[in-house]
Structure formats: structure tokens, C-alpha cells
Amino acid sequence: MTAPEYIYIKKRSEFGKRAYFSDRNEIELDVRPQRELAHDFIRIDPASKYTQTEKIIALHEVNTTTATFQNRGMLHTEGGWPKDINKDDIEQTVRYRRKLEKDEFFVHTMLQLMTPMEHCVLQNNACNIYEQYFQDIEPRPLVQQTVSRTVNVYRDPLPTKRPVTHISWSPDGQRMAASHCSTDFKRASANYSTISYIWEVENPNKPWAKLKPFCPLLALEYNPKDSNILASGLTTGQVAFWDVRRGSELIEASSVEHSHRDPCDKLLWIASKTGTEFFSASKDGQIKWWDTRKLHAPIETIAMDLTQPDEQSLDRAIGVSSLQFEPSMGTRFMCGLENGWVISGNRKGKTPQEKLMVRFKAQYGPVISVERNPTFPKNFLTVGDWTARIWSEDCRESCILWTPSHDVLLTNGMWSPTRFSTFFLTKANGTLDVWDIIVQKDTPVLSIKVCDEPLTCLRPHEQGALVATGGKNGSVYLLEFSENLTVNQKNDKLLFTAPLQRFEINSYFCLSHSRICPCFIYNNTIFFATIKLPPTPIRVQIEAYANTVSSRYEAAAKRPKRYRIDCAGIHTANTSKLPVVEIQE
């Protein structure tokens, strides 16, 4: 298709005159100088200017040809015999030696090798390679380098900060739930928010989800089989469960008349076929088992009445301060009480007395935390007052290992899920201590100042490298530890079990050869001494040692009114040889 066009014809005479073009100057703008503006300007003399005089060079990278190396060696246990010679066959070795000795170059070669060999032997005899040049230097302890770092800090977005009461990791390890509540119920204000948060590990700037209950949460625990389901304990004593797929409101809560009388601050899921059962505890002395399908009333209830277990009464029940459940042990559970006792219970017991059969006198105050070792379930950790203790179910009378008394109160403690000899302790001064029994037993291998406020709770990650701890300032701190605190070595299992068995046997020996002596009084202080028979020649020395202990406590301005000094297994009456005994308030 062609473009449209129009053709017309015109005569040359009608074109007009020819046009001629030329160039000329034209002033479009004329700016006259204004001398009054000259005072506002300064002449720059000289003027600095920069320029690049070097050549521009580009950087290019090229992979060069790599050389392949290979190491080869041979293990000589007896000489360098050829492959066809059996060194264990005497006839073959003798025949081969005679063959070499008959060689014409044998004597010449030996004369050349003897001179440098003799020089090396004489030089080695002249130098003492084991000589100590500096005798006064104390040997440094061979302790592995432990490293930690703060990965993220998850702060409470609200202006009024509330303490973190509980932390729980999701089954996939990508999120963690933190409950916030003021535990000072006498001073708690009605204006306090009831919101708790779910955080993504990689995003500390904004919570992944908010949980909005009708009252504050004291405990918040993920379902180990479903990362969308959570169970919580409320300050009203009720329990509730959540489904994050259905929003920030709780799904269902238990009825008040069937719930705890005091705030429910302990809650754990149990191993069941349906994955819907959990149990809770409170300071009212009750442990209740629940099912989320029928949350109106508990499935079973046990009161911590140790005086008359068969005739349970809430008036005699002792408050539960800690709770523990190991999925591999079925129906067995453990709980720590406010009077310092630890109960190892079995839900399958026919009577309440059978359910609360095994008892341990663990602490002198409330048992803040109790947890079984993930690798050796018969050993468990208790935390209370100023010490942390390791127990064995085979020895109920005494713990097999304990930490020295700390200067501040301990607030929580848990085992490492991956390294069975490591456990973590949080303190009221904002410090997190890492203990490794294999490395050292008297001091922590690592002490971290996390924050200036007291740390309230602790929860390690299943993979062991990450630990989340909450503070009274409402922040959750995520810490990462080095590999030597999270990974077991080849011989760690033997190094861990050997001292525990030795301490357990020692406890049996001391308890079987000791008796309680009558108390004696010094400076209005009652002392009780547990010593080995015969007590008569040793009692005076124990009394003198108690005087020293009393003065030391008076200097520290603690002034407790009663002590118990455990000196079991002492075989000498010399005061200087007395061990540093444990002092318990």
C-alpha cells in the first residue's frame, strides 16, 4: 500500500526571487556590571583544582592452574624392609642383611652416614631438652577458649516494661514465645498490659504475633507436635490454649472453679498419642492434667500433701515451685516444692502415696528449677537459694555434686540439650554462668554479664548453640556459644560418668559411717555437726572451725541464725587438715 500523495504543476516564473542568507551578530542579553555587588565577592588567588594524572587500571581475576599434591608415607615399625620380606621371619631378614653386607658400596656408604649421625648423637647428649629455665613461673591452667556473643535482643514494644516470665521455642526452632507479666502482684496495677509476644529469631524489630488474653500470662509453652498450638497458664489460676492460625485471641480457657487457686506459673506438654495433653502446677500445691479437647475440667489432680498422702488435703499441700517432664520416661515426672523437697512421681501409681513415692531434700529454700540430664536421665539438676546441685536417683540422702554458694540469688538453671556435661545458671545480678563439669567443677567456664537487671528465665535451643534468656526489664536476649560448649567430644561420656559415679560412692560411704552429734552453741548460734566416729576428739576441732566460720559470716554482714556443717568422713583431729566444708543456712 503506497502513501497518499498530490502532484501539482507550477511555472518557473511563478517561483519568485531567489533567497540569499548571511551571518550577522545579534545581542540577545546585555548584563551591565554592578559595582555595589563587588563587595560581596572575594577573589580566590590561587585557586585549587584537582585532577587525576595516573592511568586508570582495571583489576581482573583469572583462575590459574592448580597443582595437585599428594602425601605418601610408610610406617617403619622395625627397619625399612622391602614388601617381599617378612620382618617376622628370622631367616629372610638374616639372608637379606648378608646380601646387603656383601655389596661393594656397603662400607663406603656406612662411612659417609656415620659422621653426621655421630654429630647428632653428641649434640643431643649435650642439650637437656627437659631443663626448666624459670622455676618460679606458675603453670597456667589448660582451659579451652570459650566464646559467646549476643545475637539479637527482643525488647517489649510497650512503654511500661514487664518482666519476662517464660520462654518457649517452637518445634521448628524458627520462633520463640515469651510471656510478660509483673510477678509483684501486690503492686501490680490494673493499667498493665496483658499482651505477650511470639518472635521470629531473625527479626528482633517487630513481633511476629501478639497474644491478647483477658489477664496476664505466667507460662507459655509450644506444643512439641504442632508449631501453631500453644498452652498457657494465667494469673487467675486458669489454663488456656491458643492457635496462631485463628488470630491473637485464645481458643478456650478452663473454668475458674476447676482451676488452680493461685496463679498458674508452671506448665508443660506431656507425651501422648493425641498430642493434646499437658499438665500444670501452682503455688496452691496442686498438679493438674488437662486435655485441650475437654478443657473445662482437669483429667486428674494430685495435691502435694506429704504428711498424709492417702488423705489429700489442700490445707496441708505444699506449693509447687518448679516442674519437669522427660518425654522418654513415659508417665514419670518431677516437681520442686517451696520447702526445698523434690518429688519424683509416677502418674501410673494406684494411690497418691505411690504416685509421690520418691523424695529428695534438695534445697533449703524453694526449688526454683529441676531438670533431668537429657543423656543420663537418672541424674538431675536442682537450683535454689544460692547453690545448684546435681543428684542421682540412686542416692536420695545427699547430692553428688554442687556449686559453691554464690553472692547473689540464682533465678533459673537448665542443662544443655546437646552437651550433657554443661548447664546454665542465671543470677539476680543479670549474669549468665556456664558450667562444664568435665572442664572444671569449682568455677564456671564462662560468665556473661547480659544486662543490669535480674535475669528471670532461661531456655536453650534444641541444637544447643543458642540460648534465650529473659530479664526483668522485659527484654529477651539471644546468646550464641562456641562449639566447645555445645558439642560432645569423643571421650566426654567417660569423663562425665566417672566422677559422678565416684561422688555417688563417696556419698554412700560417708552417710553409712556418720551419725548426728548433739548440737553446740557459740555466740547465740546453734551448730549441728555430722562427723565420723569416734566424735569425742574431733568435736573440739569442729567447734573451733565453727567459730572461724561465724566470724567470716559476720564480716560479710549476713549474720544467719542457724548453720549446718557437714564434715562426714573426717579422719584427723588437726584443724589445719580439716576440709572446707559446706555451710548451709
C-alpha cell at 278: 499437658
What pLDDT is attached to residue 555?
Answer: 38
What pLDDT is attached to residue 191?
Answer: 66
Mean pLDDT on 108-127: 90
Residue predicted with more confidence, 110 or 491: 110
Q: Could you tell me how far CA 29 lies from the centroid of its own chain?
A: 80
Report phi then psi at 516, rounded to 5.
-85, 125
What pLDDT is attached to residue 186?
Answer: 66
Quickly list DSSP for 334-366: EEEETTSEEEEEETT-SSHHHHT-EEEE--SS-
pLDDT tens per residue, range 406-436 = 888 898 999 988 888 889 999 988 899 999 8
Residue predicted with more confidence, 537 or 426: 426
What pLDDT is attached to residue 317?
Answer: 86
H or E stretch at 459? strand 455-460
Closest listed residue to residue 303, CA positions, set 287, 290, 315: 287
Q: For residue 576, what pLDDT band results from cuts at 50, 70 and 90? A: very low
In the predicted model, is pLDDT for residue 375 greater than 90?
A: no
Mean pLDDT on 241-265: 88
Q: What Cα–Cα distance (Å) separates residue 483 from each residue in 169, 306, 462?
A: 21, 44, 14
pLDDT tens per residue, range 389-404 = 888 887 777 788 888 8
Q: How far apart are CA 383 and CA 385, in angstroms?
A: 7
Residue predicted with more confidence, 541 or 335: 335
pLDDT tens per residue, range 186-231 = 666 656 788 899 999 888 888 898 888 888 888 899 988 888 889 9
- CB crowding 268-285: b at 16 or more within 10 Å, else e: bbbeeeeebbbbbbbbbb
In the predicted model, is pLDDT for residue 532 greater than 70?
A: no
> If you search the block for the grid coordinates 556443717, which residue do you land on?
565
pLDDT tens per residue, range 147-186 = 888 888 998 888 888 889 999 999 888 899 999 888 776 6
What pLDDT is attached to residue 548?
Answer: 42
**Percent of the chain at pLDDT exceeding 70:** 82
In the predicted model, is pLDDT for residue 500 greater than 50?
A: yes
- CB crowding 176-213: b at 16 or more within 10 Å, else e: bbbbbbbeeeeeeeeeeebbbbbbbbeebeebeeebeb
Q: For residue 116, what pLDDT band results from cuts at 50, 70 and 90? A: very high
Range in 123-132, 292-301, 332-341, 538-547 the model is least confident about = 538-547
**What are the domain boundaries of the chain?**
148-505, 513-584
In the predicted model, is pLDDT for residue 530 greater than 90?
A: no
Average pLDDT, the chain: 79
In the predicted model, is pLDDT for residue 240 greater than 50?
A: yes
The CATH number given to 148-505 is: 2.130.10.10
Q: How far apart are CA 268 and CA 266, in angstroms?
A: 7
Q: For residue 545, what pLDDT band results from cuts at 50, 70 and 90? A: very low
In the predicted model, is pLDDT for residue 301 greater than 70?
A: yes
Mean pLDDT on 355-373: 86
pLDDT tens per residue, range 93-110 = 889 888 888 888 898 999
In the predicted model, is pLDDT for residue 13 greater than 70?
A: yes
In the predicted model, is pLDDT for residue 455 greater than 80?
A: yes
What pLDDT is attached to residue 188?
Answer: 60
Q: For residue 118, what pLDDT band results from cuts at 50, 70 and 90? A: very high
Mean pLDDT on 552-577: 37
What pLDDT is attached to residue 160?
Answer: 83
Residue predicted with more confidence, 457 or 48: 457
Residue predicted with more confidence, 328 or 467: 467
In the predicted model, is pLDDT for residue 144 greater than 80?
A: no
Q: For residue 507, what pLDDT band results from cuts at 50, 70 and 90? A: low
What pLDDT is attached to residue 114?
Answer: 92
Q: What Cα–Cα distance (Å) separates residue 28 from each residue in 21, 25, 31, 33, 190?
A: 20, 10, 10, 17, 80
Q: What Cα–Cα distance (Å) separates residue 319 from each residue in 280, 338, 342?
A: 12, 6, 12
